[in-house]
Structure 1
Amino acid sequence: MSRLKLYLELIRFEHTLFALPFAYGGMLLAAGGWPGWHTFLLVTLAMVGARTMAMALNRLIDWPLDALNPRTQNRHLPRGLVKPWETLLLALLGLALLVYAGLSLNPLTARLLPVAVFFLAFYSYTKRFTWLCHYVLGLTIGAAAVGGWIAVTGSFAPTALWLWAGVALWIAGFDILYATQDYAFDRTYGVKSIPARFGIPKALLLARASHLLAWLSLLLAGLTYGAGAFYYLGLALVGALLLYEHRLVSPEDLSRVDLAFFQANVGVSLGMFLFILLDLAL
C-alpha cells in the first residue's frame, strides 16, 4: 500500500479530476444520457491509462530539469523514492489500459490510438523548443472530451470539436498560470514557456484570453448541441470560477497560484459535468 501511494503521488492521480469529468460529459452528451456500463468502464479505463502513461513519461522526461528546479527537487525521482524502471513500468501499464480500451470501443477509437499515444508522449518535450507548449498540452488533454463523444458515436461532430477546443484552451490557460512559478528557472535554463518568453504580466493576459476563448467554445458546444437551461447555468458557474481564478493571481502576487490551479479548476470540471448531467436528466 505504501508503494501504491507513492505511485499515485508520482503521477498526481488527483489531477485526473481535470479531464475525466469532461470525458464523461462528452460521453453523456453523445449518448443523450447514460451510454451503458460497457462504454462507461472503457472510457474510464482509457482515461486512467492515458493519464498514467502521460504523467509517468513526463516525470521520466523532466527528471533532469526537476532535479535542478528548487520547486520540483522534492519530487519522487530526484529524491530516489521511486526508481526509473518503476516509472517506466507505470507508463507501460497505462499504455496497455489505453490500447485495450481503444481497441474495444469502436473502429475510430482504434484508428486514433497511434495519434493519441504520440501526443501523450510528445507534449513533455515541447518545452524544450517552443513556448506554445501550453497549447500542445491543452490539445492533448482536451482530447478527453472529444474522446468521450467518439467512444459513443464512433464519429466526430461540431459539438465534440467545440468541447475539445473549450477544454484545450482552458487547460492551456491554467498551465500558463502554473508556469509563472518557474519564470526565473525557465529563463536561466532555457526552458520555453509563455512567462519566460513574454514576461509575467503578458503571460497573465494571454491566460485570461485563453480562458475567454475557452468559455466561448463551451458556449458554442451547447448551442450546436441544443443544450437546455442547466447547461448554460453550468457555463455561468464556469465563467464565475475562471474570473475568481484570475483574481487570485497578479504580477505582484503569485503566492496563490496553487490555489487557483487546483481548487478553481477542479470546480470548473466537476461543475460543468454536474450541470451537463442535470441538463440531460431534467
Structure 2
Amino acid sequence: MIKIEHSIFALPFAWFGLFAAQDTFPSLLTFIVFSLAMVCGRSFAMGINRILDVKIDTENPRTLMRPLVTGEITKKQALIFSLSMGVGLLIFSALLNIKCVILAIIILCLSVLYSYAKRFTFLCHFILGLILGLSPVAGWLATGTELTLTPILIGLGVMFWVAGFDIIYACQDFEFDLKQGLNSFPVKYGLNTALTFAGFFHINTIIFFLLSGLALNLNFYWYLIMATVSGLLIWQHKLVSHTNLSKVNIAFFYINAIISPLILLGFILCSP
C-alpha cells in the first residue's frame, strides 16, 4: 500500500531545508531522526488517504487493484499502520524540538483534510501542495534555526510544483470524478484549461526556486540546474494533452522523481 518511493517527492526538499538552515551540515543524529519523521509523516498521509478513499477506490476502474480494495490489506491493518506512523512522526518530532511537534500536528491535520478535500473543493491540489511544501520548512526548523523567508520561498516552489503535477494526475480521473460529484481543477475548468493552470503553476515553481537561490547566495550553476528543471517540466507538459492522457504516469511519476533529487543535488553543489 505504501512504497518507499512515495517519499521521493518530499524527502529531498526536506533535506534541502535541513542543509540550508546552517552553514554546516546537521549532526548525523539530527539527520536520521528528521528523516525518520519525514518517512513517518509521508506514510501516515498516504495510508490515511487510502483508508478514507477506499469506497471511492472500489468504484474507480483505475484503482481497483489497490490492496485495500482487493482485500490484500484489511482496513484495520491499514488503520493500525497509519496511526503508528502518525505517532512516529510526533515522537521523532519531539526528539527535535517543540516547533517541529507543532508543525507535525499541522501536517497530520492537513493530511486528513486533503483526503476529504476533493469532496468539497477543487483547490484540493493546493492542500496537497501545502503539505509537501512544508517539508523544507520542517527541515529548517529541525536544526533549531529561526524561521526566515528562505525556507518559505523553497516551500512555495514545492507547493506550486506539487499542485501542478497533481492536476496533471487528476486529469485521468476526469470522467469518473465528474460522475461521482468529486472536485478537481479538471472537473471545475475542463481538461485543457486545467492543464494550462498546471503549466502556470510550474512557471511559479521555477520563479520561487530562482528566488531561493538568490536568498541562499547560490552560485551560477544553480541557474543551470533551474534551466534543466524547466526543461523537464516542459517535457512533462509536452507528454500530456487534453486529447491524449496515455502518458500521465510517465509525466507524473518518472519526471518528477528526477526533479526533486536534482534540485537537492544542485543546492549541495552550488552552495557558497
Relative to structure 2, which stretch is displaced further, 208-217 or 11-20? 11-20
Summarize deviations over 1:176-209 as a string: whole Å, max 9, x none.
Answer: 0000000000000001000011100000000000
Corresponding letter in the other structure for 2:182: V
| Cα displacement string for residues 67-116 of structure 1 (whole angstroms, at most 9, x for unaligned residues) | 00000011111100001111011111211221111111123112333212
Q: Select which of 86, 110, 115 maps to 2:77.
A: 86
Counterpart for residue 257 of structure 2:
266
The residue number in structure 1 matching 2:91 is 100
Partner of 1:162: 153
Q: How large is the Cα RMSD of the aligned pairs?
A: 1.2
Unpaired segments of 5 or more residues in structure 2? none
User: One-letter code of the match for 1:75?
Assistant: R
Matched length: 272
For 2:252 and 2:189, the matched residues in 1 are separated by 20
Report the counterpart of residue 3 of structure 1 in structure 2. Answer: none
Q: Does 1:243 align with 2:234?
A: yes
Query: Cα distance, 1:12 vs. partner?
Result: 3.4
AA of the residue aligned to 1:86: Q
Q: Counterparts of 2:141 and 2:222 in 1: how far apart (Å)?
A: 20
Instruction: State the 1:213 CA deviation.
Output: 0.5
Q: Which residue of 2 aligns with 1:20?
A: 11
Tell me the secondary structure at the aligned position of residue 71 of structure 1: helix
Equivalent of 2:39 in 48, 56, 60: 48
Shift of 1:119: 0.8
Return the match for 2:216 from 197, 217, 225: 225
Aligned to 2:198: 207
Q: Does 1:122 align with 2:113?
A: yes
Is the 8 Å Cα contact of residues 133 and 159 (structure 2) preserved in structure 1? yes
Give the CA deviation at 1:60: 0.3
Give the structure 2 partner of residue 177 of structure 1: 168
Query: Which residue of structure 1 lines up, in the alignment, with residue 20 of structure 2?
Result: 29
Query: How far off its partner does 1:267 sit?
Result: 1.0
> For the residues of structure 1 that align with 2:104 and 2:7, how far apart are their CA atoms?
20
Letter in 1 for 2:81: L
Q: Does 1:188 align with 2:162?
A: no
**TM-score normalised to the size of structure 1?**
0.93
Does the Cα contact within 8 Å between 1:49 and 1:98 map onto a contact in 2?
yes
Provide the rounded CA distance (Å) in 1 between the counterparts of 2:224 and 2:49. 36
Aligned to 1:76: 67
Contact 2:15–2:264 (CA under 8 A) maintained in structure 1: yes
- For 1:222-266, what per-residue CA distance to the aligned partner results, in whole angstroms no more than 9, with x for missing partners? 112212223222222211110111111111211001000011101
Distance in 2 of aligned mates of 1:33 and 1:272: 19
Matched with 1:110 is 101
Instruction: Please identify which structure carries the higher helix content.
Output: 1
> Cα gap change, 1:13/1:163 in structure 2, threshold over 3 Å: closer, same or farther?
same
Residue 25 of structure 2 aligns to a residue whose secondary structure is: coil
Q: How much has 1:42 moved relative to structure 2?
A: 1.5
Name the structure 2 match of 1:6: none
Q: How many Å apart are 1:157 and its aligned residue?
A: 0.9
Contact 2:90 2:105 in 1 (8 A): no
